[in-house]
Structure 1
Amino acid sequence: MAGGRSGLVGRGKNVTFIGVRHHSPACARLVGQTIEALRPAYVLVEGPADFGDRLDELLLGHDLPVAIFSHYRDETRVHASWSPFCAYSPEWVALTTGRAYGAELRFIDLPAWHPAFADRRNRYADAEERYAEVTRRLCRSFAVDNTDTLWDHLFEVADDEGLEERLAAYFDLVRGESSAGPDDAAREAYMARWIRAAAADAGDRPVVVVTGGFHRPALQALAGQEDSGPAPHGTGWPEVPRPPEGAAGGSFLVPYSFQRLDSFTGYQSGMPSPEYYQRLWEGGPEQAASALTETVVTRLRERRQVVSTADLIAARTLTEGLARLRGHHRPARTDLLDGLVAALVTDDLDQPLPWTARGPLAPGAHPAVNEMVTALSGDRVGRLHPGTPAPPLVHDVATELERLKLDQAGTVTVRLTDERGLRRSRALHRLRVLRIPGVERESGPATAAEPVLEERWTLSFGDHRLPALIEAGAYGATLGDAAAAALDERATEAGSAAGRLATVLFDAALCGCVDVSGRIAETIAAGIAGAVDVGDLGRVLSTVLGLWRHDELLGTARSTLFGTVIEGCVTRVLWLVEGIRGGPAPADLTRLHALAATRDALLHAAAPLGLDREAALAVAGRISANAAAPPDLRGAAFGLGWSLGTVVDPVRAVRGAAGPHTLGDWLAGLFALARDEVLAVESSDGAGVLGVLDEMIVALAEDDFLVALPALRQAFEFFPPREREIIAGRLLDRRGLRGSARALLRTAADPLMIAKAKALEANVERLLVAEGLVPRRDPA
């Protein structure tokens, strides 16, 4: 934020400090007038010092807004931030006016990658929380809703006379009641060294310093101290910090937009409603209010809202009346917005008006209010000068899309079965992973199991594509490298959330990046090693195992990365399930599917991947014999050992699972893991599992059967319809009955309801007999 005052730094060193609120037209006017009046030798601006030797690039002649995009990456930290400029940014006016009057220009702040900016996405973010209490008192004193309204009242629509003194008083008050943290202190110490160096070099010529108003009081004090910091090559100028060895980073100019600049869309710096302040900068508050009133009315009419000429006149009249009532010589932004609401919104509003607070626009706002906010936000998008350097990725993508005939807008269909189609698919998926606008997949395989051989994409080109590509250049110089780095970052963010890791893995397969990045493998392996959700791990394992075994289409068959994932998932699933404890409960199908995927991995990938079958069998044996383990896991563990070839006595195991509260869940685990084995051992005399099970169920009392029935039904759902028909046929044979097994499976009502009804009837009969209302039936 802002304030201005001249001060001396050392004997005869004339330095003028102008504290500014970022993106404030009033501060921009003050900066321009001060530089024009002083004709300084140096203009020092709060900006990244490592971009200082590229100021000619920044001043090429772009269409604003633009931003310096800075990125940084090392083994422990990934950081990206922006330093945006629009026509009314005081920093921009300082640079352009300083250049016009022959001043030497310097950026004097620490680079964006520096740890002092670790928590910031934007260099020019106003840290309102640092002085929340003083601004709250000021808002109460001036009877305004928030800091933005207070700022307009004090500076934007007030007279310019005395502006410098008012700004200085405001920021002295703010800084006087606030303390700078270590990050601000490091920045201020560094900026003070630039100020001392410039003052020494300028002699008696003026120096103008333009920084955030919060920093101005501290810089005035620090600039007068002796400089003990190192200077390069014996000069008086501070050394520009460089990224540490092994780190990657850099800065590029990107087109910016008013939408990204607006605090109503989440930008936490500067001013809301950038289109309003652009109009105020260009023509003053009266012209801004008049032009934007017409813009709002036009937008509402385009959306079939009835707005008459009388409504338009009423809006202007109310705006002017509110301005006079609030003591404004000219209408402020909130005068305009409140006047528009009063004239054009006749419905009751369910929530406070968005400009009464700071931050993103809340959902559910009145449609007309949304249009007002959008109109004052504006849709301006910057454009870079054609001679602006771009990161290598921009050129690589252009070349790749032209080579693959993907450089035209429209609908594209690609076949995954031919080599060219696969290359086109991978390029488009890499752009999708990098979140490049205008690349939308309409259809295609959503999972590894889908036999979809074709994709349909819609391509479009707009103003937001180039900024996104430039920013994606932080990931790598080529499309493949950038996509792999982005996937690695997503894998890191996913941590041990196995479900999110599965999505990253499938995207890696679609992008053709499965074995490109060793870091992806390491990151995902670490995430799997810390995963705690057995069901999610099972989904990852099932997906990856299918791709590893069969996928010749996407090129993931026998992938090293997927092999690492399979090994990690098998180890982690077995470790987790052995620690699960619990009594009778509904079978957990997700963990049963996870154990089934583990079985498949041990059956089909043990030899090539070196999976330890013996260790798995040992785990299965311990779980199946552990009475503290849940019944479904004990049954699944027994089935795992059986399916892997262990010699077992299944009949004895089934009898050991007897009990209406546990039998069904135990069988669910068994059938999930060893369904084929259960059917294979059945003999005509019914000596197998199903025959013994038939005997046990028939022997259950009616109440016990009712308890066991839901879990039994769930267990037998692991058999597909054809196999259930075979089982039904064998049950008929055991009873010497003839009939259709298929018909036996097609009951007219839900079997569970039938069983409950039968039990209810038995209870009623018992009560009637007990009360002597009906005679007791002869059991014969």
Structure 2
Amino acid sequence: MEEAGAVGGPWILGVRHHGPGSARAVRAALDARRPRAVLIEGPPEADGLVALAADAEMRPPVALLAHVVDEPGRSAFWPFAEFSPEWVAVNWALEQGVPVRFIDLPAAHSLALRAEEEKKEEKGEGEAASQGELAPDGDAASEGGAASEGDAASEGEPAEDLRVDPIAVLAEAAGYDDPERWWEDAVEYRGQSADALAPFAALAEAMGALRETYGAGGHDRDLVREAYMRLQMRAAAKEFGERYAVVCGAWHVPALHERTTATADRALLKGLPKAKVDMTWVPWTHRRLARASGYGAGIDSPGWYAHLFAAPDRPVERWLTKVAGLLRDEDRLVSSAHVIEAVRLAETLAVMRGRPLPGLSETTDAVRAVFCDGSDVPLALIHDRLIVGDILGEVPSAAPAVPLQRDLTRIQKSLRLKPEALERELELDLRRPNDAERSRLLHRLRLLGIGWGEPAAATRGSTGTFRESWRLRWEPELAVRVAEAGIWGTTVLGAATAKAEADAVGATALADVTALAERCLLAALPDALPVVMRVLADRAALDADVGHLAQALPALVRSLRYGDVRGTDTGALTEVAAGLAERVFVGLAPACAGLDADGAAEMRTHVDAVHAAVGLLDDERRPADTAPDGTGAIRSRWYTVLGALGSRDSVPGVIRGRAVRLLLDEGELDQDEAGRLMGLALSAGTPPADAAAWIDGFVGGGSGGMLLVHDERLLGLVDAWLTSVPDAAFTDVLPLLRRTFSAYEPGVRRTLGELVRRGPAAQPAAAGVGVPGFSDTLDEERAAAVLPVVHLLLGLDASAALPGGAPGPAPDRTPDNTLAEAAR
């Protein structure tokens, strides 16, 4: 074969994948030599898809996705950016009407080889293989770079040390400590040569020296891939003569020049395993082109490289103008003078460092000094938004896709919910039909394992069931998840229904089934709900563990809230939840007897959860299901259970205290009775540790402190007990008390400290004397002083709250009246 610089061809153009300098050089070489065909390092299965690269809807970055037909999770990506040399070659060939073909090892073989390597790794045989052998950083010699199955592994491991990084070796030989800087100086910033093939000849010579020294450089599979490429080149020579061009990683150039026989090459390929694969185009992102994403031929700064490729002239000035625009959008003061000074500083730094042009390091240093006043904090934003970038590519609707992906794309368009690479918050009001459909879609996708959206805390502080908040971000790997989910159905609704039914049958814990029932209601899967409910009823009937039942009940009852907003029939769910609650009521008290400290703490959380669930469940019951006193029958039954828990000595103190507190909060227990029970729990006959646990159950949590602040009688009881604890036992109860009171707000703790320091809180209570600040009768004069402010807050006429309805004095402007003035 002829050398790269030969006039007649073939022309083997060695490149660095995703290198803008290589991309420009490839374009110049193709324009100069005008080959009759273009061969590109990449999977031959993509030959039928290459025409889509010229489609008006195609927007790089994009990637070829190959996956095993029967095992979609076994997949690989071949990413292309606008500045990828392979992408430039493909588009040149399509523009000129020249045949373009991929000549790398077929994905059918590479994916099957990966499967064998993983099996060997599981058995402890051979070297560890991580999703196919990853390439060395930045290599022109990658396991394919922009056109390699090895790069597909978004979760791959770093390359092993024994593998050669050719760019790093050449940079070290040139006296550089940074391979990226050497590549930029030697390739990216060089001017156009008179001979369009001269740069490729020089790079081929350098790679030839490396291959002589290092051989395959630890990339043993490259030998098989290069044998296949040579066979494809022989086939092209028979069809097009010698006037064809090959675009491949520079590492492979010496091997493609090597004179071997076809028989020897076929021998290397003999016996390769094979799998049936499908291939399509999928959107990609600049973020996934970055080395930090874990993908082998990644680059540190895809956004910077895209700028270098697209800028027609004065790239430094244009870049710093972009940076200034970003900082202005973030309300930072950046003027034109800042841009001028930053350009001057970047050029000065380049001269001082002996570089032909300012690179990313020089422009970044200039931005830090001039725009950011020496701070690295704004640089994080610049790195994320510009240096890396958050561009998400687009693929044509004509691209092959699994039916599930087509249905998802159709729904996304109809709901105006476009996938984006940049993370964003989405607030949904479920009372609006479009927002309700968006919610159902996101919940269905989560059930299918497609994590496009994750629930987030509401930014508006709303606790209503009609509002949802989501955090959305589309990652390229989700295309694989969609392909995997395609085994469940051809539509999002059908696939989610089938997946929910299968999960219900396969669930091992009762709580998992109840959680699944909740997800079915959120995702509006009416066909799956009967199966889930049947499994739930069967599991609940067989599960005798009260802890499991108590853990399952809250999720089931929460599901009932979605009926009104989402228009879901929850009648069957209500009856199952009521039956589950009754079983909890019957078995809870015996289950609490004899628990150790850890078991009691866990059971306390179950008691709290069941208490919250009972209130919701009672609200869903029919009006006829009420107790004689008007309380819901289920809630009344629950209060009886709490009363039993609070009075049994066999129940751990933390649960007894919690039961008393819940009854007190619900008005089922008056203050005097609560004080009596506390007095019994804190009596001299109670072990200090058990008494401390009772206090933790009674006043533990964020709201416990306010109860003690406003009921000094209870605070006095706690104070008197604490001062009576013997020194020997005090060190045992102190950690529990610290944990109890540390949950209070700082202001509450300060107020409690002041009340305790004042001292006489307990004595008046014990003597029957009124507590300061409290009275048996209402102080009408003090209460009337608050009424004007209350009227203002409610938007009513404040003068009506004054005696006789007379107009009051003009409001002053003191800080105390700020709230009232705002209300006015």
Give the match for residue 385 of structure 2. Answer: 374
Cα distance in 2 between the residues matched to 1:549 and 1:15: 71
Q: Secondary structure at the match of 2:332?
A: coil
Question: Are positions 1:156 and 2:156 aligned together?
Answer: no
Q: CA deviation at 1:108?
A: 2.8
Cα distance in 2 between the residues matched to 1:80 and 1:266: 16
Give the match for residue 749 of structure 1. Answer: 715
Q: CA deviation at 1:54?
A: 2.0
Cα distance in 1 between the residues matched to 2:91 and 2:414: 41
Cα distance in 1 between the residues matched to 2:3 and 2:53: 28
2:443 is matched by which residue type in structure 1? H
Q: CA deviation at 1:53?
A: 1.8
Give the match for residue 287 of structure 1. Answer: 314
Question: Are positions 1:542 and 2:539 aligned together?
Answer: no
Cα distance in 1 between the residues matched to 2:282 and 2:170: 37
Change (3 A) 1:420 1:746: same
Cα distance in 2 between the residues matched to 1:292 and 1:385: 30
Q: Give a deviation string over 1:350-409, Cα, whole Å, max 9, x none.
A: xxxxxxxxxxxxxxx4215633663444565544456555554465346657888999x9
Cα distance in 1 between the residues matched to 2:353 and 2:316: 16
2:106 is matched by which residue type in structure 1? L
Preserved contact between residue 587 and residue 665 of structure 1 (Cα < 8 Å): no
Change (3 A) 1:420 1:169: closer
Q: CA deviation at 1:52?
A: 1.8
2:305 is matched by which residue type in structure 1? Y
Q: Secondary structure at the match of 1:749?
A: helix
| Bigger shift: residues 317-326 or 119-128 | 119-128
2:301 is matched by which residue type in structure 1? S
1:754 is matched by which residue type in structure 2? A
Question: Are positions 1:211 and 2:248 aligned together?
Answer: yes
Alignment of 1:290-329 (within 5 A): 290-329=317-356
* Of 463, 467, 478, the match for 2:491: 478
Question: Are positions 1:167 and 2:203 aligned together?
Answer: yes
Change (3 A) 1:520 1:313: farther
Q: CA deviation at 1:141?
A: 5.6
Alignment of 1:397-436 (within 5 A): 397=408, 413-415=429-431, 426-427=440-441, 429-430=443-444, 434-436=450-452
Q: Secondary structure at the match of 2:715?
A: coil
Cα distance in 2 between the residues matched to 1:763 and 1:555: 56
Change (3 A) 1:179 1:539: farther
2:299 is matched by which residue type in structure 1? M
Preserved contact between residue 427 and residue 470 of structure 2 (Cα < 8 Å): yes
Question: Are positions 1:196 and 2:196 aligned together?
Answer: no
Q: Which stretches in structure 2 are left out of the alignment for 5+ residues?
A: 115-129, 135-143, 152-157, 419-424, 614-640, 662-667, 669-675, 704-710, 731-824
* Of 63, 67, 75, the match for 1:68: 63
Cα distance in 2 between the residues matched to 1:491 and 1:143: 63
Preserved contact between residue 65 and residue 85 of structure 1 (Cα < 8 Å): yes
Q: CA deviation at 1:152?
A: 0.8
Preserved contact between residue 413 and residue 457 of structure 1 (Cα < 8 Å): no
Preserved contact between residue 58 and residue 253 of structure 1 (Cα < 8 Å): no
Change (3 A) 1:405 1:323: closer
2:263 is matched by which residue type in structure 1? E
Q: Secondary structure at the match of 2:382?
A: helix
TM-score for the superposition, normalised by structure 2: 0.56
Alignment of 1:429-578 (within 5 A): 429-430=443-444, 434-436=450-452, 454-455=466-467, 473-474=482-483, 475-476=485-486, 477-483=490-496, 506-513=518-525, 516=528, 541-543=552-554, 545-546=556-557, 554=568
Q: Secondary structure at the match of 2:102?
A: strand
Q: Give a deviation string over 1:497-545, Cα, whole Å, max 9, x none.
A: 9999986664344113487599999x99xxx9xxxx998x677523455
Q: Secondary structure at the match of 1:68?
A: strand
Preserved contact between residue 301 and residue 388 of structure 2 (Cα < 8 Å): yes
Give the match for residue 21 of structure 1. Answer: 16
Cα distance in 2 between the residues matched to 1:502 and 1:38: 68
Q: Give a deviation string over 1:313-372, Cα, whole Å, max 9, x none.
A: 32222222222333333333333333333443433x4xxxxxxxxxxxxxxx42156336
Q: Give a deviation string over 1:565-597, Cα, whole Å, max 9, x none.
A: x9xxx9xx99xxx9xxx9964553325666999
Q: CA deviation at 1:237?
A: 13
Cα distance in 2 between the residues matched to 1:755 and 1:223: 93
Preserved contact between residue 157 and residue 331 of structure 1 (Cα < 8 Å): no
Give the match for residue 729 of structure 1. Answer: none
Q: Give a deviation string over 1:638-677, Cα, whole Å, max 9, x none.
A: xxxxx9xxxxxx99x989x6xxxx96479789999xxxxx
Give the match for residue 333 of structure 1. Answer: 360
Alignment of 1:168-187 (within 5 A): 168-172=204-208, 176-177=213-214, 185-186=220-221
Q: Secondary structure at the match of 2:246?
A: strand
Cα distance in 1 between the residues matched to 2:51 and 2:248: 20
Cα distance in 1 between the residues matched to 2:604 and 2:475: 48
Q: CA deviation at 1:195?
A: 3.0
Change (3 A) 1:123 1:341: same
1:164 is matched by which residue type in structure 2? F
Preserved contact between residue 283 and residue 393 of structure 2 (Cα < 8 Å): yes
Count of aligned positions: 613
2:280 is matched by which residue type in structure 1? F
Give the match for residue 57 of structure 1. Answer: 52
Cα distance in 2 between the residues matched to 1:344 and 1:429: 43
Cα distance in 2 between the residues matched to 1:221 and 1:520: 64
Question: Are positions 1:253 and 2:276 aligned together?
Answer: no
RMSD: 6.6
Give the match for residue 620 of structure 1. Answer: none
Cα distance in 2 between the residues matched to 1:540 and 1:445: 27
* Of 259, 270, 273, the match for 2:301: 273
Cα distance in 2 between the residues matched to 1:49 and 1:98: 16
2:102 is matched by which residue type in structure 1? R
Change (3 A) 1:60 1:70: same
Q: Secondary structure at the match of 1:272?
A: coil
Change (3 A) 1:465 1:338: closer
* Of 692, 700, 721, the match for 1:710: 692
Q: Give a deviation string over 1:94-147, Cα, whole Å, max 9, x none.
A: 223344262442353432881556727996377765547776565556565533
Preserved contact between residue 66 and residue 254 of structure 1 (Cα < 8 Å): no
Preserved contact between residue 28 and residue 90 of structure 1 (Cα < 8 Å): yes
2:713 is matched by which residue type in structure 1? T
Alignment of 1:108-123 (within 5 A): 108-111=104-107, 114-115=111-112, 119=131
Give the match for residue 758 of structure 1. Answer: 724
Q: Secondary structure at the match of 1:747?
A: helix
Preserved contact between residue 152 and residue 333 of structure 1 (Cα < 8 Å): no
Q: CA deviation at 1:91?
A: 0.9
Q: Give a deviation string over 1:160-182, Cα, whole Å, max 9, x none.
A: 5552244235544665548566x
1:60 is matched by which residue type in structure 2? D
Q: Secondary structure at the match of 1:44?
A: strand
Preserved contact between residue 158 and residue 328 of structure 1 (Cα < 8 Å): no
Cα distance in 1 between the residues matched to 2:170 and 2:510: 50
Change (3 A) 1:702 1:172: farther
Alignment of 1:24-43 (within 5 A): 24-43=19-38
1:158 is matched by which residue type in structure 2? R
Cα distance in 2 between the residues matched to 1:45 and 1:69: 14
| Bigger shift: residues 269-278 or 50-59 | 269-278
* Of 35, 42, 56, the match for 1:47: 42
Change (3 A) 1:411 1:422: closer
Q: Give a deviation string over 1:609-661, Cα, whole Å, max 9, x none.
A: xxxxxxxxxxxxxxxxxxxxxxxxxxxxxxxxxx9xxxxxx99x989x6xxxx
Q: Secondary structure at the match of 1:226?
A: helix
Q: Secondary structure at the match of 1:211?
A: strand
Q: CA deviation at 1:199?
A: 0.7
Q: Secondary structure at the match of 1:193?
A: helix
Q: CA deviation at 1:196?
A: 0.9
Q: CA deviation at 1:310?
A: 4.1
Change (3 A) 1:103 1:40: farther
2:203 is matched by which residue type in structure 1? L
Q: Secondary structure at the match of 1:305?
A: coil
